[in-house]
């Protein structure tokens, strides 16, 4: 026998959906909603769910409805147990509503944390962008300074060359002066 491809939660969800639409829950209607499965198996699981959970209240889109209407009718016919079962159901409804309220509070707290995280992330991104712009400006300034230093080195090299030539010219002049002075001395 091959394993079932339709899981119990899908069957229960389809049954609830049919009830919300005011349609009769049977094997074929469950199969039509799910799109697969043996109608007998689907109905068996649905009935087991209804009897196991005994009219557990479920809340969907703010509407409260019983899961097992057949079970509710049977309970209404039992006069001795009805008040305690109704009290149990009301207690279950209140517990589910309290759980829903806690979930809403958790959702709001998480939304607030997400908003704060987004603000922090935006501030960090802004600071990062500012830092990147400052780095780009400093890199451009560094490039300009390196070009200026290279220009100054080239100029210093030119002036050293001129100084060297001037020194050689001075030495040559000094030799010439010395030679002229040597020629004039004997007379």
**Res 86: pLDDT:** 66
3-state class (DSSP) for residue 66:
strand
How many other CB atoms are found less than 10 A from the CB of residue 131? 10
In tens, the pLDDT along 11-37 reads: 888 888 888 888 888 999 999 998 888
The predicted pLDDT at position 61 comes to 42
Where does the chain have alpha helices with state H?
Answer: 8-20, 27-34, 39-53, 69-77, 82-184
Name 60's bridge partners.
Answer: 63
User: So what's the pLDDT on residue 137?
Assistant: 95
Domains with residue ranges and CATH for the chain? 1-77 (1.10.10)
In the DSSP assignment, the letter for residue 67 is S
Q: Which residue has the tokens 């908003």?
A: 115
pLDDT of residue 144: 95
Mapping DSSP to helix (H, G, I), strand (E, B) and coil, where does residue 1 land?
Answer: coil
Cα dihedral 68, 70, 71, 72 in deg (nearest 10)? 90
What is the structure's pLDDT at 1?
Answer: 62
Residues of the chain with pLDDT under 70: 1, 52-86, 185-187
Q: How many residues would you count in the chain?
A: 187
Please give the structure tokens belonging to residue 26.
Answer: 């049977």
- Residue pair 25/19 in contact by the 8 Å Cβ criterion: yes
Per-residue model confidence (pLDDT) at position 124: 95
**What pLDDT, on a 0 to 100 scale, did the predictor assign at position 84?**
66
Structure confidence at residue 77 (pLDDT): 42
């Amino acid at each position: 026998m091959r394993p079932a491809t339709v899981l119990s939660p899908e069957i229960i969800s389809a049954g609830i959906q049919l009830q919300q639409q005011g349609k009769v829950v049977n094997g074929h209607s469950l199969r039509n909603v799910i799109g697969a499965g043996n109608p007998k198996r689907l109905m068996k699981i649905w009935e087991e769910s209804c009897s196991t959970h005994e009219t557990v209240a479920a809340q969907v889109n703010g509407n409260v409805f019983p899961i097992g209407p057949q079970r509710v009718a049977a309970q209404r016919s039992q006069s001795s147990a009805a008040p305690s079962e109704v009290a149990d159901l009301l207690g279950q409804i209140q517990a589910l509503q309290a759980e829903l309220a806690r979930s809403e509070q958790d959702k709001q707290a998480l939304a607030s944390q997400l908003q704060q995280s987004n603000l922090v992330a935006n501030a960090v991104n802004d600071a990062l962008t500012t830092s990147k712009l400052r780095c780009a400006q400093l890199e451009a300034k560094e490039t300009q300074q390196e070009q200026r230093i290279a220009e100054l080195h080239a100029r210093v090299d030119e002036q050293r060359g001129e100084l060297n030539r001037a020194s050689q010219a001075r030495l040559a002049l000094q030799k010439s002066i010395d030679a002229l002075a040597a020629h004039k001395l004997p007379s």
